[in-house]
Chains A and B, each alone.
Chain A
Amino acid sequence: MPEEDKPEVKPAQTAPPAAAKPPAAKPAAKPPAIMAVSAWEGDLPALLRQRFSDQVSECSTYLGQNFVVAAPEAAIPILELLRFEADFDYLVDITAVDYPQRPERFDLVYVLYSFARNERMRVKARIADGYKPATATKVHLAANWLEREVFDMFGIEFAGHPDMRRILLPEDWEGYPLRKDKSIIDCDNKWIEEHLGIEGGQ
């Protein structure tokens, strides 16, 4: 597997992922730097705004896909409301996105689907590093492994999760690989230095 990776890794050499990306994107600066969303109107956003008032900060549509941005403590009550009152009974995915330059570093993203409505939506919550969002396992059992993966990859711990362990990486793994400040080259070099006793060549 490592041999296979070597030639492919080269393009990344000039652009280590985390640090270099935002400056590289800036000079181009032609397209807008924010998502060109439009407002999401309908019963559902109205219901959410009515129940959660200022805890729901945004109900938007982008490319025909609806999402709401909510305060982190409102995320689970929203999932509950959506499941029991709006038929969003299938939790498709939980994931996170890391924005290291933001004070609320992570976007926590819940992807939901409703069989009855044949409709998809996303619930997003912005959380700071170290904040422990409540687990969604009490609403959807599917959240168990998905949250474990988010913990494994981003280091976001879920409060009240029945089994908060790493899932894909070994127990003794250091750090959280999908954070933007983790570079795959460093990871490789470290492994080479430790196990082969030579300097990493990348």
Chain B
Amino acid sequence: MPDQTFLDSTELVLNMGPQHPSTHGVLRVVLKLDGEKVLGADCVIGYLHRGVEKIGENRTYQQFAPYVDRMDYCAAVSNGLGYCLAVEKLLNVEAPPRAQAVRVVLTELNRIASHLIWLGTHALDIGAITPLFYVMREREEILNIFEKYCGARLTTHAFRIGGLQYETYDGLEADVKAACDHVLPKIDEYERLLTGNRIWIGRLTNVGILNAADCKQYGVTGPMLRAAGVKWDLRKAQPYSGYQQYEFEIPTGTHGDTFDRYLVRMEEMRQSARIIRQAVEKIPEGPIMAKIPKVIKPPVGEAYVSIEAPKGELGYFIVSDGSTQPYRLRVRPPSFVNLQALDQMTRGALVADVVAIIGTLDIVLGEVDR
């Protein structure tokens, strides 16, 4: 905190949220201000706490699967993938190749959808209203595929422990390719609208800087870590679900400011489309479910499994006591951990920047509060 205040006035405490359009849900931030300069930010969270971990202890492994969709509801497919992989790890089984390929296609589509929502809301917060309508239009294409595949658009519950419940529908490949062909030029269009825009550059550059060392200290992962120049992505570092077969780049930034994070996420959407095109081209034939018992009772033990969710590292730590219900189920949510850096990122910024910084964190309160 700066020693000297530039206005000879008392410190002002400003309450922002939980009912505030730019806090992306029910986040309350208590800001300490000196004039328009932020001295510190204290987050008050938990308004959306549903006790997901406790619910997990009171449900069977299969029964709990739909609950994970309700954490990060912008990326329900990713949540489901992480959970299924964790239980599969405990059971020591692997989904068949066909299931893995379909999982990758849907998860990456979901990453694009999640990033599109981030872009729309982030731009809206900063004052650019138009992109929100555009991204909703493109996201629709992706949600339509989810709807045709599993009947749900948002909380999909697309995967099952051991593989998939549903075979792909006729024409999924064509739909997915069409969606990629539709979205990719649109991403260029958004970039033409924003990347060179003077206001956009002015509002984002050198705002909310978080360098690589700070990211590691705070446990910040995902695009935020990559924007700080750390080339780390769990899909490459510890590949799961067959990601090692696909060619893709890990986009990184240099400064770790809001503009870098914007560029990284934009490029990530293109890379996701690249993965989807490779995966959908060669979905292998074969079964979609591994041989797992009807009643899932993992042997006594514990495992921590994490995936690269759109927001960062999403981990599940599950302890099994050999019964049908998890003895302990811990979710390591990327949004919760990333949000912790808000205080550091907002210090010295202006009030208007706080809105930009919350937007660039890309939090979903359903996941922060669980």
Residues of B within 8 A of A145 (CB): 336-337, 340
A134 interface residue (CB < 8 Å to B): no
Of A12, A24, A120, A142, the most chain B CB neighbours within 10 A belong to A142
Q: How far is the CA of A34 from the CA of B300 in the complex (A)?
A: 6
B317–A24 contact, CB under 8 A? no
Residues of A within 8 A of B370 (CB): 168
- Range class of the B interface residue count: 35 or more
A92–B219 contact, CB under 8 A? yes
A140–B50 contact, CB under 8 A? no
| Contact A21/B323 with A62-B301, A92-B219, A146-B337 known, Cβ cut-off 8 Å | yes
B313 interface residue (CB < 8 Å to A): yes
B328–A97 contact, CB under 8 A? yes
B116 interface residue (CB < 8 Å to A): no
A115–B232 contact, CB under 8 A? yes
Residues of A within 8 A of B369 (CB): 168
Which one of A8, A12, A140, A170 lies within 8 Å of B46 (CB-CB)? Answer: A170
Interface residues of B in 1-60 (CB under 8 A from A): 45-46, 49-51, 53-55, 57-60
Which of A25-33, A46-54, A192-200 is the interface stretch?
Answer: A25-33
A140–B217 contact, CB under 8 A? yes
Q: How far is the CA of A111 from the CA of B63 in the complex (A)?
A: 26
A89 interface residue (CB < 8 Å to B): yes
B89 interface residue (CB < 8 Å to A): yes
Q: What are 15 inter-chain pairs, A to B, with CB distance below 8 A?
A: A8-B59, A21-B323, A24-B323, A25-B323, A35-B301, A36-B299, A36-B300, A63-B92, A90-B219, A93-B317, A98-B328, A115-B232, A122-B304, A145-B337, A169-B46
* Chain A residues engaging chain B, CB cutoff 8 angstroms: 1, 8-9, 11-12, 15, 17, 21-22, 24-25, 28, 31-37, 62-63, 65, 89-93, 95, 97-98, 109, 111, 115, 118, 120, 122, 140-142, 144-146, 149, 153, 166-170, 177-178, 182, 184
For the complex of A and B, the 5 pairs showing the least CB-CB separation, nearest first, are A142-B219, A168-B46, A93-B332, A95-B330, A35-B301
